[in-house]
Structure 1
Amino acid sequence: MIKIWLSGLLRTRSGRLTGTALGVTVAVALLAALGAFLSTTRTTMTSQSVRSVAVDWQVQVQVATGAQPQNVLAAIRDLPGTRAALPVDYAQADGLTAHTGGTTQNTGTGMVLGLPTGYASMFPGEVRLLAGREHGVLLAQQTAANLHAAPGDTIRIQRAGGLPPVAVRVSGVVDLPLADSLFQKVGAPSQSQPSAPPDNVVLMPARSWHTAFGPLASARPDLVRTQIHTLRSHALPADPAAAYTIATGSAHNAEVRLAGSGLVGDNLGSVLDAARSDALYAQLLFLFLGVPGAALAAALAWAVAQSGAGRRRKEQALLRTRGATVGRLVGLAAVEAGVVAVLGAAGGLALAVVVDRLAFHGGGIPAAWALAASGVGILVAAATVLLPARFDARRATVASGRTAVARRPVPRAAWWVLGGTLLAGSLAVFRATSGTNYALVLAPEGTPTLSVDYWAFAGPALLWAGGTVLAWLLVDLALRRGRPVLAWLFRPVAGALSGTVTAALSRQRGTVVRSVVLLALACAFAVSTGVFNSTYQQQARVDAVLTNGADVTVTRPVLTASDTAKLAAVPGVRHVEPLQHRFAYVGADLQDLYGVRPTSIVGAGRLQNGYFSGGTARSLMDRLSARPDALLVSAETAHDFVLHPGDQVRLRLTDARTGQLRTVPFRFEGVVKEFPTAPKDSFLVANASYIARTTGSDAAGTLLVDTGGIGQRQAAAKAKRVLGPSAHVTDLPSSQTVVGSSLTAVDLAGLTRVELGFALVIGAAAGGLVLALGLAERRRTLALASVLGARGRRLAGFVWSEAALVAVAGGACGAVLGWVLSQMLVKVLSGVFDPPPDHVAVPWAYLAALAGVTVAALAAAAWAAARHAKRPPLAELREL
C-alpha cells in the first residue's frame, strides 16, 4: 500500500510535494550557507588579527630583581613556539637640539631606542623608512618636523642624569606605525598606559646606544629599560576564542618560567581578545538575520502543505471508509514527510555548496553545520506534513473530513490582547537593551571568557510574533467587516461581480489571510535584512574614512599650498582639502591639534553628526567659522580638564617664526568624539586660519583627497609620484581592510548577497507559490461561477482581485514591520557599528527589485489561474 500511495503522490500531487520540499530546501540551504560564512569569518578574523601584529611579545626585563637581559633573551629563545627574539633598549632623554637653516630648535623630553642589527627586517611592521637610509641614527617623522632636521643633519641628545649631550648624525626619517604598543608600559593596567606615544623619538644602532647610554644605565637604572621583542609561532586554531586561549596560555607559561625576571606584554593575545569579541558579534548577525530567514522558509513549507489540507482530509476520510486505521494514515503521512525531508535536505545542501563557492570562495560547509541544517530540514518536514496529518487523523471524523468548506472561526478578543502584549513586551525589551550603557557582548574584568546577553533577542522575536498576530487580525477584520469597501475597490477588476468576489474571499478568508501574512513576513525579512546590511556597509566605509581621512590621504611634516595645487591637478582628483596637524600643550599634556577650514571640512572629511556632542557637524563648524578662536576638544580632554562651554583654554603651540612655544588663547565651544585621522583619545580641533595667524605658518600636515569614490588606488599611486617618496600616501580601499574592528574589516559582501538573494526567493515564493496553490484549491468556486454564467473578464476578476489584495495588504504590512525591525536591529546591534550611524541606509534599488519580483510572481500565479479558469466548467468539476 505504501508503494501505491507514494506512486500516487508523485503522479498526482507532485506540484505540492515539490513546493513543500522547496520550502525545506531554502531553510536547509540558508542555515548551511550561513554556517559556512561563520566558519570563514572566524578564520579570517584570526588570520587578519595575527597579521596585524608586528611584535607578538614585548618581554620587559625586571632589572630590579637582578635579572640580566642576556639571560632573559636566552630563556625566551628556548621557549617552545619562539621563532625569533631580539633585545631592544630604551632610554629617556631630557631633550633634543638641532641647528638647521640658521636657526636652533629645541624639543622637550624624548625616548631613544637602541635597535640590534636586523631588527627592521625581522619586525617589518614596526619601522617604515620615509627618507634617507635605514642604517644608522633615525628620527621619527614628528621629531624630524620639530627639529627641522633631515638626513645628513647633526642633532644633539640631552642625556638625563647630568651626563653631557651627545651629538649624532641623522641617517634617515621613519614612521612608527605601531608606536602605541612599542612604547607601552608592560605589566601596567590599561588605564595607566600613556595616552599617546612620545612626541620625540630617536632610533640608534644597539652598539651606538650602549656607548651613549651605558653610563646612564649604571647611574640611573630607572631611566633605562630593556625589552625582548619576540616573534611567536602563528600555528593557531581558526576560531579566535580558541586561538586567544592558546596564545594567552603561552604568555602566562612564559612568565612562570621566567620566575619574576621578566613580564610579558602579550600583543598577540590583545588582538585575539578583540577578535573573539567580534566573532561573537558575527554569531549574533547569524542569529538576528539568518534564523528568521530559516523560520520563514519553514513557514513557507507549512503554508504550501496547508494549502492542500482540505484535500488531505477528504483523502483520509475516503481511506477510513475503506478500513484504514489511524496508524496506517499516520504511516502514509510519514512516507510523504520522509520524501519531503530527503528531497529538501539533499537539495538544500547542494544549493548551499553552490552558494558557498559563489559567495564565500569555496570555504566549504562544516560537517557540523551540514548535519544541523539537515536536522532542521527533517524537523520542518515533520512539522509541516506529519504533525498536521496526525492531528487530522486522530481528531477528524469521516463526516467532517468530507466537508468541503469549514466555517472560519472569528478571532476572539484574547487574540487582540495577545498581539498588543507581544508588541508592548517587544518595546519594553528594546528600551532595556538599547540603553547607553547596555552591552550585548559582555567581557567581565579579570575573566578569560566572553558571554552574550541573549535576552536582547527577545525584542525582535516579540516584534516578529506581535507583528504577525496583528497583521492576521487586521486582514481578517478587513475581510469580515470591510466588505463594502473591498467590493468598491474590486469593482474596476471584477465589475458587477465585485460583491460576489468579496463574499467569496470573506468566506475563504483563512487561505487569503495565510497568503497575506506569509507575504508580509517575507517582505519584512527582506526589508529589515536589506536595511541592516546596507547600514553595515555604510558604516564600514565611514569607519575606513574616519581612520584614513578621505579617498586618498597624504601626510608629510610640511605640505605647502604648492603641494596642494600639484595634487589637485592629478587626473581623477575632484577636491583637495588641507588639514593642519600640529601639537599643542594643554597644561602639561601634549595633544594633537587639527586646524580645519570650517566651510569645506564637513564635506571633504565626510563628517558625521555622531562625531560631535552638543550639535551637528555643520553647526559646530559654523561656530568655528563665526568665532575664529573657537576650539573643539575631545570628550576625554573636556572631562579631564573640567571644561564648560565658553571657558577660555590657553594652549602652548610652537611659533614657526621663533621655534619657541607660544601661549595662544582659545574659547571652548563643543566636544568632538571622533575626527578623521585623529587618535581615539585626546585631540583638539580649531580654525586653521586662526592657527596660521597666531603661529606664523599655514603649512598643512595632511591633505584629504576626494576622488568621488572611484579610482582611489590609481590616484594614490599618482600622488606618490607627484609628491615624492617623503610623502606617506594611503588609499581608502586598502585602509578598509585593516582598520576598525576585525568584524568591520571582514568583507560582508558575500553574506549580503546570500541573505538578500534568499529574501528575494522567499518573497517571490510567498507571493506567487502560495497564492497559486490557494487558487488551485478554489478551482471548484471558479468552476461554479463559470456554470452560473461568469465569463472572461468577470471570471478573471475572482483571481486578480485576490492577487491584488494579497499584494497590497502583504506589501504594506511587510513594509511597516520591516522598517520597524530594521530600526530595532540597528539599535540593538549598535556594538557592530563603529562609529554608530547617523541614519540607516535604505537600499532602494534592492527594495525596488524585491517589489518587482514579488509582483511578477503574483501576476504569474494569477495569470495561470485565470487561464486555467477558462477550461470547460463541467470537465473541471468532473476532475474535482
Structure 2
Amino acid sequence: MTVTWLRGLLTRRPLRVWGTAAGVALTTAFLALLLAFIATGRANMTARAAASVPVDWQVLLGPQGSVPAAARAIRAATPVKTLLPVGYADVAALSAVTGPAGQVTTQTTGAGKVLGLPPGYVAAFPAELRALVGATQGVLVSQQTAANLHAGVGDRVTVTRYGAPPVAVTVAGVVDLPAADSLFQAVGAPKGLAPQAPPDNVLLVPRAQFDHLFAPQRAARPDTVRTQLHVRLATTLPADPGQAFALVSRLANNVEARLAGSAVVGNTLGATLDGAREGALYAQALFLFLGLPGALLAAALTVTVAGASGTQRAGEAALLRVRGAAEGLILRLGAGEALVVAALGLLAGLGVAALLAPALAGTPLTGASLLWPGLVGLLLALGAVLLPTLGAVRSSTVAAQRLAVRRSRVPLWQRLYVDAMLLILAGVVFWRSAAGGYQLVLAPEGVTQASIQSEAFLAPLALWLGGTLLAVRLLGLLLRRNVLGQLLRPVSGRLSSIVAAALERQGGVLSRGTALVALAVAFALSTSIFNATYNDQARVDAILTNGSDVTVTGTAAGPAGPQLSALKVLPGVSAAQPLIHRYAYVGADLQDIYGIDAAHFTEVSHLSNTYFKDLGAQAALVKLAARPDALFVSQETVNDYNLSLGDAVRLRLLNARTHQYAVVPFTFVGVVREFPTAPKDSFLVTNAAYLAQQTGNPVAEVALLKVSGNPQQVVDGARRLTASLPGVQITDLGSARTRVSSGLTAVNLAGLSRIELGFAVLLLAGATGLVLALGLTERRRTFTVLGALGATSRQLGAFLNGEALVIVGLGGAFGLVIGLGVAQTLIKLLQGVFDPPPEGLLMPWVYLGLLLISAVVSTGVAVVVARRASGRRVTEVLRAS
C-alpha cells in the first residue's frame, strides 16, 4: 500500500511533493556551498598571509649564540627551506662628497644601519630588495639614503663607525627596501618582536666585507653589532589561520627552548598569521551573516510549501480513517512521503552543490560539507511532512478534520508582543555597536584563542524576524478593519469589498504567504545591497592602495612626471595627473609628503569623506587650495607633536639646488586619516606647486592615470614609455587588489555573491509563485463552485488577483523596509570588514530589477495555474477534492 500511496502522490500531488523537495534541495545546496566557501576563505587567508611575509623568522643571536648551533636547533625543530645569517651594525653617520667640479658638496646623515648580506640573499628573499639603479651585488645604498647623500653608482660613502675610525666604500647600486618595517623590526621585545620605525639611512654590503669592516667595532662596542638568521620555513601549514598561527608559535617556542636563551625568534610569519586569523573570523562572520538567513529562508519555504497543503492532508487522513486505516498506517504513509521528499531534495541539492562548488568556491565538497547539510535536509524533510500529518491524525474527529472553517485565535506571539521585543532587542544591540568600542571579532594579539561576538548576530536576525512578525501583525489589522477593500479596488473593482471579506477569512494562509515573501525580499535586498557596497568598497580600497586605475611610480633618479604628456595620450587613458612623493623631517621623524593639484586630483583618484577628520573630501580640497602652504597632517603625527589647527609647521625638505635639507614653513589646516598611495601611519599632504617651489624640484615622481578602456593595454603602453627609467613600477587596480592585506576587502567574494543572489531570486520566486500556486490550488474547489454558480472569469480573477496582491504586493513592501534596515545594520556591524568604511549604501538597481521581474513572472504563472484549475469540470474537481 505504501508504494501505491507514494506513486499516487507523485502523479496526483506532484506540486506538493516536488515543491517540498525543492525547498529541501535549496536548503542543503545553500548550506553545502556556504561551508565550502568558509573552508576556502580560511585556506586563502592562510596562503595569502604566508605569501606576504618576506622572511618567516628573524632569529636574533645573543652574545653567547653561534650561527651553527642556532641553525642546528632550527632545523631540528622544523623543516627549513632557506637559512641565511645577516649582520646588523649601528653606525654614527654616513657621509658623501659629490657634485661636478666647482660644485662639490658634502652631505652627512645622522645615525644609520649597515647590513651584511650573505651570497644568494636577494634570490632567497626577493621581497626584501628591489633594484633601482646599478647592480644588486656589492655595496648598495637605499633610495632615501641616496637622496639624502645625493649619491649614486660609483660614489664613495664614508661610514662613521663606533669605536673605530671611519671607512669609505664605493656604491655599486641603489635599491628600494619594500619590507623595511619587518627587516628592521625590534626582535627581542617581550613578545618576540615589535614594530619599529625603519632607519632613515641604510647601507647594504656583502657579508664577508661586513665582517671585515665591523670586526673592530664588534670588539670595541659589541652591543652595536648583531647577527640574525633569516629563515624561510618549509613547514606545511594548516588551512585555518588560527591553527597555523598556533603551530608556528609552538615551533618558535621550541627553537627558543632548544637554544636555552642564546637566541630570540622574531616570528614574522606568526605575527602575520595572528592578524590573518582575525580576517578569517571576519570572513566566517561575513559568510554566516549573509548565508544563514538564506538557509533559514529556504527551510521556511519548505515548511510553508508543506503546510500549504494542510487542508488537503487533513482530507486525505479523514478519508483513510473512514476506510479503516489506523493512525500508525497514516503516520507510516506520511513517513514514506517524507523520505521520498528527503531523497529527492538531498539528491538534487547536494548534486547541484557538488557541481557548483569547484567553480564558485574553488574547492570540491568535503565530507563535512556533505554530512551536515545532508543531516539538516533530512530533518527538515521529516519535520515539514510529518508534523502536518501528525496534526491531521491527532484531530479529534473525522468531522473536525473535514471542517473547512475553524475558530481562529490570536497567536501567542502576538499576545506576548514578540515582534516588539525582537525589534527592541535589535535596536539595543545596534546602539551598543554604534556607540563605539565594539569589536565583532575578539582576537587578542599573541593569544591563540579567537572568537566571534555571538551577540552581534542578534541585531540583524532580530530585525529580520521582528520586522516580519510586525508585518504580519499589520496585515492582520488591515484585514480585520476592512481597509483592504480600498487597497484591492484597482485589481478587484466593484468586488473589492467581497474579495476583502473572503481574504479576511483566509487570514492564516495570507499571513504565512506574506511573511515568507517579506522574508525573501528582505534577504534578497539586504544581501544584494551589502554585496554591492562590499564590491564597491573593494574597488575604493584598491584605489586607496594603488592611487588610480593605473599608477606609474618612478624614483628620484627616474621620475615618472616627465613622461606624463606621453602617458596622457595612450589609448584608453581618459585623464592623467602628477603626484609628488617626497620625504620630510617632522622633528627627527622622516615622513612621506605628497603634493597634489587640489583642483584636479579627483579626476584620476577617489577621495572618500572618511579620509578626512571633520571635513568632507571636497571641503578638504577647497581648504587645501585656499592657501599655498596649507598642510594636512595624519592623526598619528598630530598626536605625537600636539598640533592644533592653524599651527605653523616647519618641515625639513631636501632642496634640489643645494642638495641640503632646508626648513620650509607650512600651516596645519586639517587632519587626514587616509590618502591614495600613502602609508597608514604618518604622512603629510600639501599643494604640489608650493612643494615644488620650496624644494626647487617641480618634477613629480608618480603619474596617476584614469582608464576608460582596457587597463592591461594601458599598462603595456606605459611600460614601453618608461622602459628606460630605472626602478619604475607600473601597477593597476587588479594587481593592487591582490596585494591588499589590510582588510577583508582583499577577499574576493564574487562566487559567494553570485550564489547568494541566485538563490535569493529562486527563493523569492518560490515564495511568491510556488506558495501562491499551492494555496490557490487548494482552493480550486471554491472557485469551481463559484464558476458553476455563474461567476465569470473576470470575477474569479478578482479573487485571484486580490490574493496575489496581498501576498506579493504587501509582502514585498514590508520586505523592502525590512531589507533596507537589515542592510544598514549589517554594514554597521561588519564595519571591520571595510577599510575605509563606506560612506553609504549602494543600491544594485540591475539586480533589483531582475528580482522584481522574477517575482512578477512567478506570481503571474501561479495565477494562471489557479485560473486553469478553476475552469475544470465541477464533478471532476469535487471528486478529486
1:413 shift after superposition: 9.4
Which digits, 9 at most, give the CA deviation of each residue in 1:434-485, with x for residues without a partner?
A: 43211111123553211211011111121122112111111222122134xx
Which digits, 9 at most, give the CA deviation of each residue in 1:597-629, with x for residues without a partner?
A: 111223433111111111111111211111222
Go from structure 1 to structure 2 and tell me whether the alpha carbon gap of 1:41 and 1:590 turns closer, same or farther (over 3 Å shift): same
1:426–1:460 contact (8 Å) kept in structure 2: yes
1:592 equivalent in alignment to 2:592? yes
The letter for the 1-side match of 2:550 is: V
Question: Which residue does 2:654 correspond to in 1?
Answer: 654
Go from structure 1 to structure 2 and tell me whether the alpha carbon gap of 1:26 and 1:717 turns closer, same or farther (over 3 Å shift): same
Structure-to-structure mapping, 1:337-486, within 5 angstroms: 337-361=338-362, 363-410=363-410, 414-415=414-415, 417-445=417-445, 447-483=447-483, 486=484
Distance 1:566 1:109 in 2: 41
1:20–1:305 contact (8 Å) kept in structure 2: yes
Question: Which residue does 1:530 correspond to in 2?
Answer: 528
1:97–1:107 contact (8 Å) kept in structure 2: no
2:138–2:206 contact (8 Å) kept in structure 1: yes
Go from structure 1 to structure 2 and tell me whether the alpha carbon gap of 1:278 and 1:438 turns closer, same or farther (over 3 Å shift): same
1:418 shift after superposition: 2.3
2:163–2:221 contact (8 Å) kept in structure 1: no
CA RMSD between the two structures: 2.1
Structure-to-structure mapping, 1:556-705, within 5 angstroms: 556-558=554-556, 559=559, 561-705=561-705
1:414 shift after superposition: 4.3
1:553–1:704 contact (8 Å) kept in structure 2: yes
1:827 equivalent in alignment to 2:825? no
Question: Which residue does 1:811 correspond to in 2?
Answer: 812
Go from structure 1 to structure 2 and tell me whether the alpha carbon gap of 1:347 and 1:532 turns closer, same or farther (over 3 Å shift): same
TM-score, normalised relative to structure 2: 0.95
Distance 2:390 2:60 in 1: 71
The letter for the 2-side match of 1:793 is: R
Distance 1:831 1:601 in 2: 28
Question: Which residue does 1:146 correspond to in 2?
Answer: 148
1:493 shift after superposition: 3.2
Which digits, 9 at most, give the CA deviation of each residue in 1:489-531, with x for residues without a partner?
A: 4344333333322222222122222222111110110111111
Question: Which residue does 2:264 correspond to in 1?
Answer: 263
Which digits, 9 at most, give the CA deviation of each residue in 1:618-651, with x for residues without a partner?
A: 1112111112222211111111112222222222
Which digits, 9 at most, give the CA deviation of each residue in 1:136-163, with x for residues without a partner?
A: 1222222233333333x31313323264
Question: Which residue does 2:302 correspond to in 1?
Answer: 301
Go from structure 1 to structure 2 and tell me whether the alpha carbon gap of 1:646 and 1:699 turns closer, same or farther (over 3 Å shift): same
The letter for the 1-side match of 2:712 is: R
Which digits, 9 at most, give the CA deviation of each residue in 1:708-737, with x for residues without a partner?
A: 3x5223322321221225212222101111
The letter for the 2-side match of 1:720 is: R
Go from structure 1 to structure 2 and tell me whether the alpha carbon gap of 1:669 and 1:313 turns closer, same or farther (over 3 Å shift): same
1:592–1:678 contact (8 Å) kept in structure 2: yes
Question: Which residue does 2:125 correspond to in 1?
Answer: 123
1:73–1:86 contact (8 Å) kept in structure 2: no
Question: Which residue does 1:135 correspond to in 2?
Answer: 137
1:46 equivalent in alignment to 2:37? no
1:488 shift after superposition: 4.0
Question: Which residue does 1:325 correspond to in 2?
Answer: 326
Question: Which residue does 1:205 correspond to in 2?
Answer: 206
Question: Which residue does 1:96 correspond to in 2?
Answer: 95
Go from structure 1 to structure 2 and tell me whether the alpha carbon gap of 1:194 and 1:319 turns closer, same or farther (over 3 Å shift): closer
Structure-to-structure mapping, 1:115-194, within 5 angstroms: 115-151=117-153, 153-161=154-162, 163-188=164-189, 193=194
The letter for the 2-side match of 1:502 is: A
Structure-to-structure mapping, 1:236-315, within 5 angstroms: 236-315=237-316
The letter for the 1-side match of 2:774 is: L
The letter for the 2-side match of 1:136 is: G
1:389 shift after superposition: 1.9
Q: Secondary structure at the match of 1:574?
A: strand
Distance 2:45 2:413 in 1: 51
The 10-residue stretch of structure 1 (586-595 or 324-333) with the greater mean CA deviation from structure 2: 324-333
1:512 equivalent in alignment to 2:514? no
Distance 2:743 2:617 in 1: 27
Distance 1:450 1:593 in 2: 38
1:286 shift after superposition: 2.2
Distance 2:358 2:681 in 1: 42
Unmatched tracts of structure 1, length 5 or more: none
The letter for the 2-side match of 1:291 is: L
Go from structure 1 to structure 2 and tell me whether the alpha carbon gap of 1:196 and 1:705 turns closer, same or farther (over 3 Å shift): farther
The letter for the 2-side match of 1:19 is: G
2:327–2:393 contact (8 Å) kept in structure 1: yes
Q: Secondary structure at the match of 1:645?
A: coil
Distance 1:189 1:672 in 2: 32
1:579–1:596 contact (8 Å) kept in structure 2: yes
Distance 1:193 1:698 in 2: 38
Between the aligned residues of both structures, percent identity stands at: 48
1:233 shift after superposition: 1.0
Question: Which residue does 2:775 correspond to in 1?
Answer: 774
In the TM superposition, structure 1's runs of 4+ consecutive aligned residues that sit over 6 Å from their partners are none
The letter for the 1-side match of 2:717 is: K
Unmatched tracts of structure 2, length 5 or more: none
Which digits, 9 at most, give the CA deviation of each residue in 1:525-577, with x for residues without a partner?
A: 01111111112212222222211211122222233652221221222222222
1:761 shift after superposition: 0.5
1:20 shift after superposition: 0.4
Distance 1:733 1:396 in 2: 68
1:316–1:393 contact (8 Å) kept in structure 2: yes
1:650–1:663 contact (8 Å) kept in structure 2: yes
Go from structure 1 to structure 2 and tell me whether the alpha carbon gap of 1:863 and 1:7 turns closer, same or farther (over 3 Å shift): closer
Distance 2:586 2:523 in 1: 51
1:130–1:728 contact (8 Å) kept in structure 2: no
1:77 shift after superposition: 4.5
2:562–2:699 contact (8 Å) kept in structure 1: no
Structure-to-structure mapping, 1:729-744, within 5 angstroms: 729-741=730-742, 743-744=744-745
Question: Which residue does 2:758 correspond to in 1?
Answer: 757
The letter for the 2-side match of 1:4 is: T
Which digits, 9 at most, give the CA deviation of each residue in 1:265-299, with x for residues without a partner?
A: 11111122122222211211222111111110011
The 10-residue stretch of structure 1 (594-603 or 767-776) with the greater mean CA deviation from structure 2: 594-603
1:411–1:473 contact (8 Å) kept in structure 2: no
Q: Secondary structure at the match of 1:857?
A: helix
Distance 1:733 1:593 in 2: 26
1:749 shift after superposition: 0.8
1:50–1:234 contact (8 Å) kept in structure 2: no
Go from structure 1 to structure 2 and tell me whether the alpha carbon gap of 1:103 and 1:511 turns closer, same or farther (over 3 Å shift): farther
Q: Name the count of aligned residue pairs.
A: 873
Go from structure 1 to structure 2 and tell me whether the alpha carbon gap of 1:70 and 1:521 turns closer, same or farther (over 3 Å shift): same
The letter for the 2-side match of 1:447 is: V
Distance 1:25 1:413 in 2: 30
Distance 2:327 2:2 in 1: 15
